[in-house]
Structure 1
């Protein structure tokens, strides 16, 4: 995945021993950017804004 479009609580997961690998996949970044641009209201609802 990627964490450019939304930065979650990676620190919380890592603090509990979860290995977090951010691949910063360009295809994933593009997919998310396209989705956010196409439906910003749904995106904001999804992230709690």
Structure 2
């Protein structure tokens, strides 16, 4: 699925994406919860 991990991380590192947007990429199945942590350095937020 596009965008993939490498593209998302590239733009996150350049402050183009917020953590909320990265969470959305997990919901869209572009990346996994583990990749979310690799990108943001934080655990994937639990659903309420």
Q: Do both proteins adopt the same fold according to a TM-score greater than 0.5, normalized to the shorter chain?
A: no
TM-score (norm 1): 0.28
TM-score (norm 2): 0.29
Query: Comparing both chains, which one has the higher relative contact order based on Cα–Cα distances under 8 Å and sequence gaps of 6 or more?
Result: 1
- Whose Rg is larger? 1
